[in-house]
Amino acid sequence: MKNTDLCQTGIEIIGDVSWGTHFCQFYQTKTDLIGTLVPYFRAGLDNNEFCVWVTSDFLNTEEAIAALQKGIPNFSKYLKKKQIEIFPHTQWYLKGGKFEMKQVLRDWVNKHDQALKKGFAGTRVSGNPFWIDNKKDWDDFAKYEAEINKVIDNYKLLVLCTYSLDKCNSSEIIDVVSNHELALIKQAGKWQNIQSVGYKKIEQSLRQSEGRFRSYIELTGQLGWTTNTKGEVEEDIPSWRKYTGQSYEEVKGTGWTEALHPADVKHTLAVWNKAVRTKSAYETEYRIRRYDGVYFHFLVRGIPVMNENGDIQEWVGTCVDITNRKEMERVKSEFISIASHQLRTPLSAISWAVESLSEIECKNRSANCKKYLEQVDNQTKKMIKLTENMLDVTKMELGVFSFKYEEINPLKVALKVIEDYKDQIKNKKIKFKFIKDTDIQPYKTYSNAIVTILSNLLSNAVKFTPIGGRIILRIAKKNSQLLIEVSDSGVGIPKSAQAKIFQKAYRATNVKSQFEGTGFGLYITKTMIDRMGGEIIVKSVRRKGTTFRVILPFKQEERKIQAVKLTSNLTGMTAII
Amino acid sequence: MSNTKTDNVKTILIIEDESDLLDLLQDKFITSGFKVIGAGSGEEGIRHALKNKPNLILLDIILPKMDGITMLKKLRQDRWGKGVPVIILSNLSDQNKISEAMKIGVYDFLVKSNIKLTDVVTQVRQVLD
């Protein structure tokens, strides 16, 4: 984006231009050059700009200084102040003996940075490629001019390149004109400004797309950013900078991370670098420090942008303020925490009081005493179970259920869960078999989910299997997925109910009255399985038995790349969105 | 004079702000042969702990004036407090709080509504033996 500050060129036919303008002049005589460059530099010196004039064999350093002294009052004071530097091309373009584009560009940036440090308003320069005498240097110089165009918008630089009209053939003139925003040519004794028509059209189109793009960003209140293929900020990111208050210099490269909360930087860079390296979609959360120093939670997403050849050209991304969402989550979690605690407390008190009563008081009382106390105890246990289930369901619905991600061996977990039902299985004389695939290794997954799934399926199997029945638990590896299968010889599930058993509070007709249950167990189990990207299937025959089959992937699915393909309406340029 | 009889009686400090629950726990532990000190807040709890130096502390997390985690942190800063066994007895199932407590160092985390009084005593006996 262009700086909106204007500076006076000192050249009548052009007037004022914004910083970051790169223009050229075709001269024929020394008078042409002097007549343009002296007013040009005069305007710069008058406006407290730092000036650099790289001279050539056509108009050398002594001649340049003489012309400036003649045309600018008190010129020596500027020289003394070192506000202007004049030196030959050999000390600039051909420092090492040959033209090194990257070095010259770096040198210009250095001059610019130093000028700003010294307190100048900007830097105004002029150079003359009169020294070029072969095609290779000409082509290199043209590339160099094009590079200037890519970055000049970010700097307080004004660049005027002077070309000898006599030295340029027609195709070379076209090269030069297409690389500059304005071109000055003398026609019929008068200076004309030939603005590069193609350049202007392209610029207009770009500005329109840019304008639209920025409007979208502003409408959504998001921060937009873009980086080069290496993941470094190169082009200006104004919406980000507006929010954080950082300058372009502070933000480029990886400087943008300075605005992140220090505790979030390491993880963010790890995730970002991985995304850039693997060319996959980028998403994470972090806190950004606003211009006033306050940190806010953001969700950031980035995708690679491909050009026509399928290569990544750049990355674009947005940051969305999720502070409200985070606050809501915190409020919900806290509410559920308090609610669960408040509900459990009186239930614990009743439970323990009944326990104490049974032991002490019923020894010498009637049989009814024990019976009624047992009923109180059973009902209390039911309430506790119901409370637990409802709290889990509420957490899931509100999106604040915490899945614990850690490494576990499903076989070990299964053994622990089986322990919980050992007594019930023994009391009901159930034949229990555990078939396990011994080569299942520990792996990272949601441990509390696995526990809940196993516990729920086993609990149901034990509950609905009659005395002397049979239960088989099988855990195996199947097609790089984890298989958990629980079969029983229980009452079975009617066909009409099989689709509904995973619903909240559903209890099939054949069990509703005889067996206790909250109706939430399978809903919770299925929700967890869905979240993990797995599936659960039920097969059942009434009065024969039921088999629940759960398949869980060992790895979480990688997010698919959503790259944006560019369409080019204008040759060599790209339009966005 | 030897105090072998009193030496074998273990002292438990129970920090619980629900008076009914505290009563039930105290009665149970006394009939099970323990000496019991009760406290109704984190502040009271740490005072009694450092003064009486019990053999084990049963601690709830949600407490007035100073919550269980804060009390636990303070306790662990004391030379004696660093080593006393602590069992969390709570109705809170917040994953974060559980991990926090485990990090500071507790023997176990028991959920009141899921455990019988008898089993609480069994757990305490296991830790003290």
List, for residues A275-296, the tens digit of each pLDDT value: 998 888 899 999 999 999 999 9
Is any Cβ of chain B less than 8 angstroms from the Cβ of A355?
A: yes
The answer to whether residue A575 is domain-embedded is: no
Domain end: A288, A321, A354, which one? Answer: A321
Give contacts of B119 with chain A, Cβ < 8 Å: none
Domain end: A172, A195, A218, which one? Answer: A195
β partners of residue B89: B110
Whether the per-residue pLDDT at A412 is higher than 80: the answer is: yes
Structure tokens at A347: 């239930």
Residues A107, A163 share a domain? yes
User: CB of A180 within 8 A of CB of A23?
Assistant: yes
Give contacts of A340 with chain B, Cβ < 8 Å: 91-93
User: CB of A253 within 8 A of CB of A225?
Assistant: no
Cα A125 to Cα A154, A156, A334, distances in angstroms: 16, 11, 63
The answer to whether residue A148 is domain-embedded is: yes
Give me the mean pLDDT over the A36-65 stretch: 93
**CATH number, domain containing residue A526:** 3.30.565.10
Residues A23, A163 share a domain? yes
User: CB of A128 within 8 A of CB of A161?
Assistant: yes
Domain count, chain A: 4
User: Is A355 within 8 Å of B92 when comparing Cβ atoms?
Assistant: no
Range of the domain at A335: 330-399
d(CA B49, CA A192): 94
Query: Measured between CA atoms, how close is A502 to chain B, in angstroms?
Result: 25
User: CB of A532 within 8 A of CB of A446?
Assistant: yes
Band of pLDDT at residue A203, cut at 50, 70 and 90: confident
Encode A104-131: b = buried (16+ Cβ within 10 Å), e = exposed: beeebeebbeebbeeebbbbbbbbbbbb
Determine the pLDDT at residue A199: 66
Burial bucket for residue A419 (CB in 10 Å: 0-12, 13-18, 19+): exposed
Residues A367, A278 share a domain? no
Whether the per-residue pLDDT at A206 is higher than 90: the answer is: no
Structure tokens at A547: 């088999």
User: CB of A525 within 8 A of CB of A519?
Assistant: no
Determine the pLDDT at residue A559: 28
Beta strand A21-27 with A157-164 is parallel
Domains in chain B and their CATH numbers?
4-128 (3.40.50.2300)
Q: Is A58 left (phi over 0), alpha (psi -120 to 50) or beta?
A: alpha
Encode A54-72: b = buried (16+ Cβ within 10 Å), e = exposed: bbbebbebeebbebbeeeb
Give kind and range of the element (H or E) at residue A347. helix A323-360
Q: What is the pLDDT of residues A238-254, one digit of tens each?
A: 889 989 999 999 999 99
d(CA B40, CA B15): 6
Whether the per-residue pLDDT at A488 is higher than 90: the answer is: yes
Whether the per-residue pLDDT at A564 is higher than 50: the answer is: no
Q: What is the pLDDT of residues B73-126, one digit of tens each?
A: 999 999 999 999 999 999 887 767 787 888 888 888 898 988 999 999 999 999
d(CA A105, CA A427): 86
Residues A213, A178 share a domain? no
Band of pLDDT at residue A70, cut at 50, 70 and 90: very high
Question: For A270-274, which contacts have Cβ atoms below 8 Å and span 24 or more sequence positions?
Answer: A272/A231, A272/A302, A273/A231
Q: Which has the higher per-residue pLDDT, A153 or B78?
A: B78
Can you give the length of chain A in residues? 577
Q: Which has the higher per-residue pLDDT, A94 or A556?
A: A94
The answer to whether residue A377 is domain-embedded is: yes
Determine the pLDDT at residue A557: 42
Band of pLDDT at residue B31, cut at 50, 70 and 90: very high
Average pLDDT in chain A: 86
Give me the mean pLDDT over the A407-435 stretch: 92
User: Is A349 within 8 Å of B24 when comparing Cβ atoms?
Assistant: yes
User: Is A345 within 8 Å of B117 when comparing Cβ atoms?
Assistant: no
User: Is B93 within 8 Å of A402 when comparing Cβ atoms?
Assistant: no
Residues A189, A216 share a domain? no
Whether the per-residue pLDDT at A575 is higher than 50: the answer is: no
Give me the mean pLDDT over the A535-557 stretch: 89
**CATH number, domain containing residue A18:** 3.40.50.300
User: CB of B55 within 8 A of CB of B11?
Assistant: yes
User: Is A384 within 8 Å of B114 when comparing Cβ atoms?
Assistant: yes
DSSP assigned state of B94: -
Whether the per-residue pLDDT at A562 is higher than 50: the answer is: no
Determine the pLDDT at residue A426: 93
Q: Under 8 Å CB-to-CB from A346, ≥6 apart: which residues?
A: none
β partners of residue A334: none
The answer to whether residue A454 is domain-embedded is: yes
Q: What is the pLDDT of residues A453-480, one digit of tens each?
A: 999 999 999 999 999 999 999 999 988 8
The answer to whether residue A566 is domain-embedded is: no
The answer to whether residue A385 is domain-embedded is: yes
Residues A414, A276 share a domain? no
Give contacts of B29 with chain A, Cβ < 8 Å: none
Residues A148, A38 share a domain? yes
Whether the per-residue pLDDT at B68 is higher than 80: the answer is: yes
Terminal Cα distance for chain A, rounded: 17
d(CA B16, CA B71): 12
Average pLDDT in chain B: 89
Query: Measured between CA atoms, how close is A393 to chain B, in angstroms?
Result: 14
Determine the pLDDT at residue A572: 36
Give contacts of B114 with chain A, Cβ < 8 Å: 384
B20, B113, B119, best to mutate vs chain A, most A CBs in 10 Å: B113
State the sign of the Cα–Cα–Cα–Cα dihedral A43, A44, A48, A52: negative
**Tell me, what's the ipTM?**
0.89
Structure tokens at A155: 């700097």
Give me the mean pLDDT over the A75-97 stretch: 90
| B residues 27-56 closer than 8 Å to A (CB) | 27-28
Report the candidate in B32, B11, B120, B36 with the shortest Cα–Cα distance to residue A360. B32
Query: Measured between CA atoms, how close is B115 to chain A, in angstroms?
Result: 9
Residues A157, A18 share a domain? yes
Is any Cβ of chain B less than 8 angstroms from the Cβ of A143?
A: no
Domain end: A341, A371, A399, which one? Answer: A399
Q: What is the pLDDT of residues A360-374, one digit of tens each?
A: 776 667 777 878 888
Q: What is the pLDDT of residues A293-342, one digit of tens each?
A: 999 999 999 999 988 887 888 999 999 999 888 888 888 878 888 888 88
d(CA B60, CA B86): 10
The answer to whether residue A431 is domain-embedded is: yes
Residues A183, A113 share a domain? yes
Percent of chain A with pLDDT over 90: 44
Residues A471, A452 share a domain? yes
Report the candidate in A105, A139, A143, A141 with the shortest Cα–Cα distance to residue A125. A105
Residues A54, A152 share a domain? yes
User: Is B21 within 8 Å of A349 when comparing Cβ atoms?
Assistant: yes
Cα A352 to Cα A236, A381, A464, B83, distances in angstroms: 67, 11, 29, 30
Determine the pLDDT at residue A565: 34
Report the candidate in A328, A326, A277 with the shortest Cα–Cα distance to residue A304. A277
Structure tokens at A270: 């790890």
User: CB of B49 within 8 A of CB of B37?
Assistant: no
Is any Cβ of chain B less than 8 angstroms from the Cβ of A349?
A: yes
Band of pLDDT at residue B7, cut at 50, 70 and 90: low
Determine the pLDDT at residue A46: 92
DSSP assigned state of A440: P
Residues A174, A37 share a domain? yes
Point out the least confidently predicted range of A73-82, A173-182, A396-405, B41-50.
A396-405
Structure tokens at A540: 């059942």
d(CA A241, CA A238): 5
Is any Cβ of chain A less than 8 angstroms from the Cβ of B98?
A: no
- The single residue listed with the structure tokens 């900007």 is A122
User: Is B24 within 8 Å of A353 when comparing Cβ atoms?
Assistant: yes
Give me the mean pLDDT over the A72-100 stretch: 90
The answer to whether residue A577 is domain-embedded is: no
Determine the pLDDT at residue A167: 87
Report the candidate in A45, A156, A39, A66 with the shortest Cα–Cα distance to residue A108. A156
Determine the pLDDT at residue A196: 63
User: CB of A557 within 8 A of CB of A573?
Assistant: no
Is any Cβ of chain A less than 8 angstroms from the Cβ of B24?
A: yes
Q: Which has the higher per-residue pLDDT, A201 or A26?
A: A26
Percent of chain A with pLDDT over 70: 94
